[in-house]
Amino acid sequence: MAEAEWYLARKGDPGIGVGAGAQSNAAFWDPEYLAAHPPAERVVPKGERVSRDDLVAITNSYFDSLSAHDGHIMIAHPGCVRLENGVLTTQREAPANLGANAAGVFNGKTDCMNEGAMTNIYAVVARRFPIVDEEAGVVLGLGVFLRKPGVAMRRNQFSEWFVIEQGKLRAIYSSMFYPDQDALAPNWPPYDGNWPVLPAPK
């Protein structure tokens, strides 16, 4: 028996939800940009490869960073890039109020350590790593981004490819969708059924 999982994003799919600015009405979607900027295909020389355990730990540093809202936790190269459904979410002009040494700023542009992108995430849950490729230096991570209790925003269910060079994140290629509160997500063992959505505080 074999099983395949696909994360599909389509133009006009629901976005993060009410009050989330540009993503409130539709999810990111730009397959043309992704096709023009695909992940590199490579074989890492044996002497430069990172162990399986370390690849997972480096990937987890990204998720831990998002949950803690602290870009300094992330093990990443300055200038690391991230694409979400084909849209480049990094390499944008850094806000003027951020200092030169702020996490997530490199040469005046934001990178994957940018803490501004973490503000809507409460926790990264149901993490799993079905593919860890030492030869390519690549990890596939799956999980769910939860929101704070009572916040009117959809969860993200995601699959993300992490490209790791010399022991640090270089690029992240994300495919994700935004299930509504009643959707069965993530619905894989040991989280069969709906991950509990936290109720609003009274």
Amino acid making up residue 157: Q
Predicted local confidence at residue 143, as pLDDT: 94
For 140, the token pair is 């596939």
Contact criterion met (CB below 8 Å) for 185 and 197 = no
Query: Minimal CA–CA distance to 61: which of 44, 77, 85?
Result: 77
Which has the minimum average pLDDT: 46-55, 94-103, 176-185? 94-103
Predicted local confidence at residue 200, as pLDDT: 62
Query: Order of strands across the sheet with 168-177?
Result: 87-88, 76-84, 168-177, 156-165, 138-146, 123-133
Rounded to an integer, the average pLDDT of 28-56 is 96
Instruction: Please report, rounded to a whole number, the percentage of residues in the chain having pLDDT higher than 90.
Output: 60
Rounded to an integer, the average pLDDT of 136-157 is 90
- Chain mean pLDDT for the chain: 88
Predicted local confidence at residue 195, as pLDDT: 67
- Which domains are present in the chain? 21-177 (3.10.450.50)
pTM: 0.89
Cα 59 to Cα 161: distance, rounded to the nearest angstrom: 9
Predicted local confidence at residue 138, as pLDDT: 98
- Comparing 165 with 188, the larger pLDDT belongs to 165
For 119, the token pair is 């503000």
